[in-house]
Structure 1
Amino acid sequence: MPQPLILAVPKGRILADALPLMARAGIVPEAGFGDENDRRLRFRTDRDGLELIRVRAFDVATFVAHGAAHLGIVGSDVIAEFAYAELYAPVDLDIGHCRVSIAEPAGLARDDDPTQWSHVRIATKYPNLTRRHFEARGVSAECVKLNGAMELAPTLGLADRIVDLVSTGRTLKDNGLIEVEVIAEVSARLIVNRPAFKTRPEVAALVEAFRGAVA
């Protein structure tokens, strides 16, 4: 009997939007999956041979790239940050819309011209994506890796600017920061492990089910 397929789904902001989409694709999790207070990480579904794991967004890409999960739902920001060769992203799920942006203190932004930057010190959880962006512009980027509380970095002197995920911009405003440039528009994607996609027909069937759910 083949091992069950594993679909990795992120905790946090994408989960609420992903649940109705999964239902349209014919995947209904067992009770508790949508409850962030349920501490289990692995769940059954009503679809034979398919189980879900609920992990951090950045870990979704790693689980799928290394074959521990066969499919996943994750933001295009995470895909771009890791750039795993083993990942294939066949479906834009049209949920989780936001952007990866550069922000700086309002006082600095008043007289700042991003086109004149030659060297920047950036606090971000996207060091790879950030470096590639600035390298393409011929700007030297020194990246300080943080996993959260990015908005504190400029006020405490850790970095002049930040690169972070922005939705409404409220958090930036509340911390005295201004969005000065968008690096990438983001939406959630269905990702699959390339070897699994080639060797397990059920993976391709799920890809088509998600395509139908989005359509």
Structure 2
Amino acid sequence: MELSEKLVLALPKGRILEEVMPLVRKAGIEPEADFDDPKSRKLEFDTNIPNLSIIRVRAFDAATFVAFGAAHLGVVGNDVLQEFGYSDLYSPLDLDIGHCRLSLAMPVDEAEEDPKEWSHIRVATKYPNMTREYYAERGIQAECIKLNGAMELAPKLGLSRRIVDLVSTGGTLKANHLKEVEVLTHITSRLVVNRPAFKTRPQEVSYWIERFREATQDGTASK
């Protein structure tokens, strides 16, 4: 098979990167040494596959790189997929990693309120689209204040009594005297593919989908 331009795999920084790398390696991809060097400033890395490179970007940006064709494959949480709704992203595989949930939280001393009695709420969140849609389906108008981090400060400083954010263990909420009130959706990370790339390079892209599928099945079997 004649190969044209290099395929690019977009991986998210942070906790998900640690969880996904065993699958990447099981799929047969080994990045260059700089990838594991914390002092390296590189953002794109060669691999043992001559026509495949890896870029390491923020979780939200991984979806954008793949959706607009700058990367051909990527690893993205379904929170990001739902928030952006990119039409050119195809998600063929749940990698069964990055388990967490998108939840609404409030100060502990106010958390006994019944969400069924709400009609209008103000929410600080990184996920305004998902939050508005979730509460609109329940007849509640959600006024969303977009924040990219430090969500837990919003109730303390009077910006908003409620926040919607990703929750894993709940430790951060507890440390900031907040309580999880409602789960909007459960999150896992997915392998995503650029749809035009899937159409123009079906053999290459399908090959890597299957390699990741096998890696995921191996991981499930070993649990």
Deviation at 1:39, TM superposition (A): 1.6
Aligned position for 1:108: 110
**TM-score when normalising by structure 2:** 0.94
Displacement, 1:115?
Answer: 1.1
- 5 Å-filtered alignment, 1:68-79, equals 68-79=70-81
* 1:19–1:34 contact (8 Å) kept in structure 2: no
Q: Which residue of 1 aligns with 2:42?
A: 40
- Per-residue deviation at 1:149? 0.2
Are 1:10 and 2:50 matched, yes or no? no
Between the aligned partners of 2:9 and 2:23, the Cα distance in structure 1 is: 14
The alignment status of 1:152 with 2:142, answered yes or no, reads no
Unaligned runs of at least 5 residues, structure 2: 218-223
Check if 1:84 corresponds to 2:60.
no
1:22-69 alpha-carbon deviations (Å, 9 max, x no partner) = 011111111121344422100001012000000000000000000000
1:142 aligns with 143
Q: What SS does the corresponding residue of 2:34 show, helix, strand or coil?
A: coil
Tell me whether 1:163 sits opposite 2:164 in the alignment.
Answer: yes
Structure 1 pair 65–133 and aligned structure 2 pair: CA distance change class (3 A): same
Provide TM-score, normalisation by structure 1.
0.97
1:57 aligns with 2:65: no
What is the total number of aligned residue pairs between the two structures?
214
Pair 1:14–1:34, CA change in 2 (3 A):
farther
Contact 1:103/1:163 (8 A) holds in 2: yes
- 1:186 aligned residue: 187
**Uncovered stretches (5+) of structure 1, i.e. residues with no partner:** none
Question: 2:125 matched to which residue of 1?
Answer: 124
> What residue number does 1:203 align with?
205
After the TM superposition, which parts of structure 1 deviate over 4 Å for at least 4 consecutive aligned residues?
Answer: none
Amino-acid identity (%): 61
